Amino acid sequence: MSWLTTEQALNLLGTKSQTLYANVSRGRIRAKADPSDTRRSLYFADDVKRLATRHAGRRKTEAVAAEAIQWGDPVLPSALSTVSNGRLFYRGKDAAVLAESASLEEVALLLWDMKRPLRFEQSETRQMPPSLDSAFSVLAERITSDLPSLGRSLPALQHEAESVFGTVAEALAPGAWDQPLHRRLATAWNRPDAADLIRRSLVLLADHELNASTFTARITASAGATLSAATLSGLSTLTGPLHGGAWQSVRSLIMRAAAIGVDEAVRSYLAEGRPLPAFGHQLYPDVDIRGQALLGCFTLPPLFAQVRDVGEQLVGESVNVDFALTAMTHAYHLPEDAPLIIFALARTVGWLAHAMEQATSGRLIRPRARYVGPPVSDFTAARGES
């Protein structure tokens, strides 16, 4: 959850309530009134966890690391993107501002630190519709023939990243190569009026710090694997329901609202102890700037608007980018899996950027495991020796 109760915050901090309140008054921990009981307060989880980690001097290193890896401090340095003060930045540039006019190709140049336009290899125009299955297939075909990333210069990796990106783009946004990707995708879906919103979505989703799929891609690249293998790793992780597949949960919520009514649908989720899908985000205590940037550009379908209003009132969290993408898909009559296609095409840029950054560092990502299984028998005792 993005917000913690007083008891949860105190448990993580290991301090008295007076210390918690002092940290709030000093601006170290953000707090807000509990929507269900205004006499109580909620505390932003990321602030509490960060402060708990800083004050964990006497705790074992492995215990601190185990907690930090789940929405904690970054586990490795990166110059690519960050969320700061509720805004998303790509190499220091505000992503929401970029989304006003930039294309995904321009964001790729920024994240890949390239000074020349992208050059995709020309190929015959595909007649097949955008397909995630095709993206998996073409990436898998490349892995055994592409060169490992280890020991290669950044310019060489950038050239290969162009090629890998072109391969993915051909599968996810087939069309004329002289058209920008957002227009190719809009044309493939026969929805030219959605082109600008698709462009904005692609820019806003290009990268997002060390999310699950990006971390997976970096681990793959750290072993010296090909850039196509790193991209395939990221794509595989993206399909999980807690990551790129979140749109399906939003769709289920909307279908339930249509069947039994908005108020009853939202309350039924909460009564069952299920978090309301696409409300709130760990990195954005107030509002997911990506979702906000999209929602300001089109009119929400009535049912989506009602679910948003009731959900925000009962949960106390704003809708996030997954909600915005699903609503946009409905508003513009895009294919059902459009949120995942857009997400995958955009995030390929980020995966390749992180893979190149990791490969050029020359470091293997290899955490240790803290064993919690059955007791390990002593080898000497097992042999009957003293």
Decide: residue 324, CB within 10 A, 0-12 exposed, 13-18 middle, 19+ buried: buried
**What's the pLDDT score for residue 200?**
98
End-to-end CA distance of the chain: 52
**What are 178-225's pLDDT values in tens digits?**
899 999 999 999 999 999 999 999 999 999 999 999 999 999 999 999
Which has the higher per-residue pLDDT, 145 or 59?
145
The values of phi and psi at residue 189, to 5°, are -90, 0
Which has the higher per-residue pLDDT, 385 or 167?
167
**What's the pLDDT score for residue 120?**
78
Which residues partner with 4 through β-bridges? 43
**What are 83-139's pLDDT values in tens digits?**
998 999 999 999 999 999 999 999 999 999 999 989 877 665 556 889 999 999 999
In the residue annotation, 281 being an active-site residue is answered as: yes
- Among 182, 288, 322, 330, the one annotated catalytic: 322
**DSSP-derived 3-state class of residue 375:** coil
**What's the pLDDT score for residue 46?**
84
CA dihedral 269, 270, 276, 281 (to 10 degrees): -160
In the residue annotation, 182 being an active-site residue is answered as: no
Token duo for residue 95:
């992503």
Is the pLDDT confidence value at 58 over 70?
A: no
**DSSP-derived 3-state class of residue 281:** strand
**DSSP-derived 3-state class of residue 90:** strand
> What one-character DSSP code corresponds to residue 316?
-
Token duo for residue 232:
């395939």
Token duo for residue 73:
């401090």
- Among 281, 288, 330, 354, the one annotated catalytic: 281
Domains of the chain in start order, with CATH, are: 3-68 (1.10.1660), 95-386 (1.10.580.10)
